[in-house]
Amino acid sequence: MINISLNNEPKQIERGILLSNALIQWGFGETKIAVAINGEFVPRSTYHERQLNDGDQIDIVKPVGGG
């Protein structure tokens, strides 16, 4: 297992997991989201090839009202 941060919450997840699978595990499978890891944008087209690493800080955002 590795330790990561998901939206500033500590989480553990299996070593070597792909981002695409992690998103499904976390319940984001069908929702409209965008992802950044360690402050860098991760394009949707790369989710299936991006492995999560120990200490990764993952931000997942959804649309909200804004001014």
Partner 1 sequence: MSYTPTLPAKDFILYGETFSSRFLLGTALYASPQLMRDSIIQSRAEIVTLGLRRQNPADRSGDAIWQFIQESGCRLLPNTAGCKSVKEAVTLAEMSREIFDTDWIKLEVVGDDYNLQPDPFGLVEASEILIKKGFKVLPYCTDDLILCKRLLDVGCQVLMPWGAPIGTGQGLLNRYNLRTLRERIPNVPMIIDAGLGAPSQATEAMEMGFDGILLNTAVAKAHNPPLMAEAFADAIDAGRKAYHAGLMQKRQTASPSTPTIGQPFWHQQ
Residues that bind partner 1 (CB under 8 A): 7-8, 26-28, 31-36, 39-41, 43-44, 59-67
Are 7 and 60 in contact, with CB atoms under 8 Å apart?
Answer: yes
- DSSP for residue 34: E
Rounded to an integer, what is the distance from CA 34 to the centroid of its chain? 9
Nearer to partner 1, 32 or 49 (CB): 32
Q: Nearest distance from residue 9's CB to partner 1, in Å?
A: 9
Cα distance between residue 17 and residue 38, in whole Å? 17
Q: Nearest distance from residue 14's CB to partner 1, in Å?
A: 19
Q: Nearest distance from residue 15's CB to partner 1, in Å?
A: 22
